[in-house]
Chain A
C-alpha cells in the first residue's frame, strides 16, 4: 500500500530527528509566547467572576490541564494500538515519550482542582465520579510508565504497556460524561458542548490561549523526549553490539 510506505518513510527515525529539529524552535517559541500572553490575560486582564471572585483564575491553569490529560491519553491509546497492530517501533516510542507529560497534566488538573474545590465547595477532595475517574487516569499513566520500567525486554515491556493503555481507554468517556451521568460537585462542561460554549467571552479568550500554550508545551516536550528515546535506543544497540564482540 503506497500510503503505508509513505507513513513508514515519515516514521523513519533519522528523518524524524531532522524534522523534529526543524520544528522544535518554533514550538518552544510558541509555548513561551502563548503562555506569556495567556498568563498576563488570566491574571491581570480577565475580570473576577461575579460568584467565584478572584478564585475563578484557577480555571485558566486547571481546565486546559484536564483537557490535555485526556488528549494525551487518547494519543497514548492510538500509539499503543498502532504499536500492537503494525508493530511500528516509533509508535512504542511515542507512547513512552508522551506518558510522563500526560501524567504531569493530570497531576496539575488534580492539584489545581483541589485548590479550587476548597474555597468553592468547602472541600479539598470528594470521591465522586469526576474526581475519582481522573485519579484513575493518573494511575493509568503511572501504571503504563512502571510497566516500561519494570520489564527488561523493551518489546515485551512495550506490549504490556500498550495493552494497559488500551484497556484504560474505557476511562475516557467515563471522565467526559461523569458530570452528566452521576451527581457531582463538579460543574458540567461549559466549552465543549453541543449547543456551544456557555462561558462568558471575557474568560473564553484567556482560557483558549492557555490551552494553546499547553498544547505547544506538549509538542515541545514530546519532541525532546522522543529524541531522547531514540538516543537511548541507539545506546542500547551499541552496547549490545559491544557485548557480543
Chain B
C-alpha cells in the first residue's frame, strides 16, 4: 500500500519523462508571481510607514489636496 503510493508519487514527479521541462515551467511561474507580490507589498508598506511617520494632521491635509480639495 505504502509502496504503491510512493511509486505513484515517483511517477508523478517523473512527468512521463518530461520532468526536466514541466517542473521548471511551473517553478519559474511561481517564482515570478510570488516575487512580484512580495516586491509590491514591500514597496507599499515602506511608503505607508514613511507617510505615517509624518505629522498625521499634515498628512490628512495632503490627502485633501491630492483628492482635489474634496474632504
> Which residues 1-24 in B have Cβ within 8 Å of A in the complex?
12, 15-18, 21-22, 24
Chain A residues near B16: list those with CB within 8 A: 48, 53-55
Chain B residues near A118: list those with CB within 8 A: 21
Contact between chains at A53 and B33 (CB < 8 Å): no
> Which residues 147-175 in A have Cβ within 8 Å of B in the complex?
none
Contact string against B for A residues 93-123, beta-carbon threshold 8 Å, 1 for contact and 0 otherwise: 0000000110010011001100110110000
Interface residues of chain B: helix, strand, loop or mixed (majority): helix
Chain A interface residue bracket vs B: 35 or more
Contact between chains at B28 and A108 (CB < 8 Å): yes
Contact string against A for B residues 22-61, beta-carbon threshold 8 Å, 1 for contact and 0 otherwise: 1011101100110011001101100110110010001100
Contact between chains at A224 and B41 (CB < 8 Å): yes
Chain B residues near A231: list those with CB within 8 A: 44, 47-48, 50-51
Candidates B18, B36, B47; contact of A232 at CB < 8 Å: B47
Contact between chains at B17 and A228 (CB < 8 Å): no
B59 to chain A, nearest CB (A): 7
Q: How many chain B residues have a CB neighbour from A under 8 Å? A: 34
Chain B residues near A101: list those with CB within 8 A: 36
Inter-chain CA distance A65–B59, complex, in Å, is 39
Contact of A221 with B by CB under 8 A: yes
B57 to chain A, nearest CB (A): 12
Contact between chains at A13 and B47 (CB < 8 Å): no
CB-CB under 8 A for A57 and B36, given A12-B67, A234-B66: no
Candidates B17, B62, B70; contact of A241 at CB < 8 Å: B62
Contact between chains at A238 and B28 (CB < 8 Å): no
Inter-chain CA distance A142–B66, complex, in Å, is 29
| Chain A CB within 10 A, most for which of B18, B24, B59, B63 | B18
Using CB atoms and an 8 Å cutoff, list the residues of chain A in contact with chain B: 12-15, 39, 43-44, 48, 53-55, 57-58, 61-62, 65, 100-101, 104, 107-108, 111-112, 115-116, 118-119, 217, 220-221, 224-225, 227-228, 230-235, 237-238, 241
